[in-house]
Structure 1
Amino acid sequence: MENLKQTPLISVYGEYGGKTIDFGGWELPVQFSGIKHEHEAVRTKAGLFDVSHMGEFTVKGTGSLPFLQKMVTNDVSKLKAGKAQYTALCYEDGGTVDDLIIYKRDEDDYLLVVNASNIEKDFEWLQSHLTEEAELKDISEKVALLALQGPFAEEVLQPLVPNADLSSLGFFSFYENVEVAGISALISRTGYTGEDGFELYCASENAVNLWKALLQAGERVGLVPCGLGARDTLRFEAKLPLYGQELSREITPIEAGIGFAVKVEKGDFMGRETLKAQKENGAPRKLVGLEMIDRGIPRHGYPVFADGAEIGEVTTGTQSPTLKKNVGLALIKSEYAVIDGEVTVEIRGKQLKAKVVKTPFYKRPQAGGVQK
C-alpha cells in the first residue's frame, strides 16, 4: 500500500496480527484477532485502539473563545478547564463540516480533535475565518492517540497512573501532563464505543511504548488490540455518528440526531439560522433505527421506501454483534420516522421489509451518552 499515511504504530501492527487496509488514505488495521471477537471484548472486558490518524488543532489567544463560539454549534463558554465538549462545525447553510471534541486546557487555550478524513478541510475552514486575536495550529503529526475502551478500562489503566485517581475522573473530563507507565499523556474519559473508557494523547515518539505497556497491563483481564472493523460496529450500536455517513455537507446536525450539541440560544454562529428553524419546526429528514423483518443486511447507501416512493437511504447497517440482528441507521423523511412503522429497503434489487425501531441499539449499564 504505497503513498498511504501511517500512524506511529505502523511498525507494531504485525506483531499482534493486524491486517491493514486503505482507510481514507491511511494504512490502518481493520482487525487483529477478528471483528466479532474484538467487539465482544470491548463490550465485556476491554479493547485498545490506535486512533492516531485523528487530527489535533490548538486554538490559543484572547480571541479564542469568541472565535470558537462563532465557528461551532455548542456553547463553548460553558466549558471549564479540564472539561471537554462534543460539538459540530457547520457551513452557513447548516450542512456539517465535521463533528469534533473541544478540550479546554486553560483560559484562552483549547485543543480540538477532528476526524482524520477532514483534517485539511477543517483547518482551511477554520483558518479562513480566523480573527487576529486567535492563533490556530495543526499539531496532528506530533500527537498519537490511543483509545482504551470497555468495562475493565479503568482497572487496566489505574496501575500505570500512580499519581492520579481515575475513579474521580468524570465523563468528558481530562487530566493533562499525567505519567502513564512513565510517559507524559493527556487522559480523557471519552470514547467512541458506547462503553466506559479513556483516550490517551501522547507525543508520537512515545506511542509504541504506551501501546505495549497498556496491552501488557491488560493481559490479566483479557484486553485485546482492536481495529477499525470493531470500532465501526461498536459506535454504530451506540448510535454515534460517523462523518461521511450519518453526517456530511448535505446533512445537518439536527437531522443526524445530535441536536443536543446545537445551542441556538448562545448567539450567532455558522449555520444558526437553518439549525434554529429545524429545531423549532422540525427537520425535513430524521435519522432512525431500522430492524430487518425479511432476511437481508441493510448497507450504506441502500434506498429506503414507503408508500411506493423512496423516502431516504441507509447510512450504516450490519448484523449487530451484540443483538445478533440485522439493523441499520437510515436518514428518512421525518413523517415516516414513527416507531414500529414499516418500510422496505432495496437490497440487491429486492424490496425487503424492515421496521423503524428505537435507538441507540445498545446502551451500557448505567451509561451516559455524549455530554450534553
Structure 2
Amino acid sequence: MVVYIAAVFMLIVFYLLKKGVLPKIATSLIFKFTSDKELVNESDCQKIINTNCKLMRAITCILCAFVLQNVYSQTHKTYFLIVGMEYIDSKAYYARYKKSFSDQATSGVANDVGIMKMIGERNGHVMKELMNAKATVSAIKKNIEDIGKKVVEDDTFIFYFSGHGDTLKDTNGDEITGFDQALVAYDDFLIDDAIYVLLNKYFKKTNNVMIVDACHSSTSYKFTNYFMDFKTVKNKALKFANEEKAIQFEKLQTETIELQGSCAFGEDEDISEAFNLIYIGATEDKKTARGDINGGLLTICLEIVIKRALDPFTWNNYTYPRMACEVAEQMANEHQNLQYHEIGISVDNYAQKTPFKTF
C-alpha cells in the first residue's frame, strides 16, 4: 500500500513540475517572504528555479521508474473460487444414483459463502462465486480451468467448497480404500480424480489452497500421481504410497487432537506431488460433518479464529498450520476432526506465510 501511495505522489510531483506549477509557487513564496524586495528580482528568481526544475524532473523520472518497478513486482494475484451448495438437483441424483441428501444440513451455506467473501474482500482477492444451480460440475471445472489459464508463477489459487460430500465406489482401481471422494455439485458428483487433473495441469507454479466444508472430506483432491487411468504402474506398492501416507496422517491427526488435546499440523513429512497444495477438510473420509442453518462447522470455527486474531492485530503472525490448529481446537469441542495436509515438495515456504494474504 505504501508503495502505491508513493507512486501516485511521485506522478503528481512530476506532472506539477512539467506544467510549471511548482516553479511559479516557489517563485511567489520566495518573493513574498523576502524582506528587501529591491534586492530580489522576480524574473531572475524564476530563471534559477526553472533551471533547477529540469534537474528535479529528471530525478523524479528516475524515482518514478523505481517506484513503478516495485509496484509491478508486487502485482501477484490471488484468485478465489467460492462454491456454495444450499440445494442440488435431488431428482437427478436419485434417478442416477438412488441417493438423497438433506437440504437442512446445507441450509446455512449462504452464511459460509458470506464469511469467505469477507475474507476475499479484505485481502483484495479476485473472486468468483458459484452457488446452487450455477455450480454444475462443468461450471466448476470450467472456472478452475479459466483461472488456471490466467495465473502466472507465484500467484495464489484458493478453492473453497461448502455443501455435501460423499464417497463413491472406485471404478478405476486408483483408490487404496476402494472409494473415491466426491463433492456434490448441483447436477452430478465432482470426483477427486477430476480435481487432481486440473491442479496438475494448470497449477504447478502457483500457491494453492483448497478448503472443503463437507462430509467425507479428508482427501477430496487426490493423493497420488500414480493413477492407473493415466499411466501403467508396475510397482503397485508405489502406486498407493502417497495415499497410505495420507491415511496415516489422518489417523495421527485425529488421535493427537482427541487424546492429547494438542496440534502439530505441518510437522509431518510432506506428500510428494508436482503441484503445491494446502488442503483443509472438515472431517475424515469415513465421517460426516456438521452443518445447519448457521453454516458448516469448519467455516464457523475459521471465522472465530480469524476474528480473534484480528482483534489484537496478531493475524500477520499466523501461518497456515497455526490457523488450522486453532480451528481444529474449536471443532474438537463439537467432536469433529479437521484434516490438514501439505502437498508438494516446496509447500513449506508458503505454509509459513500469513493465511489468505497475497505476496
TM class by shorter-chain length? Answer: under 0.3
TM-score w.r.t. structure 2 length?
0.25
Greater Rg over alpha carbons, structure: 2
TM-score w.r.t. structure 1 length?
0.24
Larger helix share, 1 or 2: 2
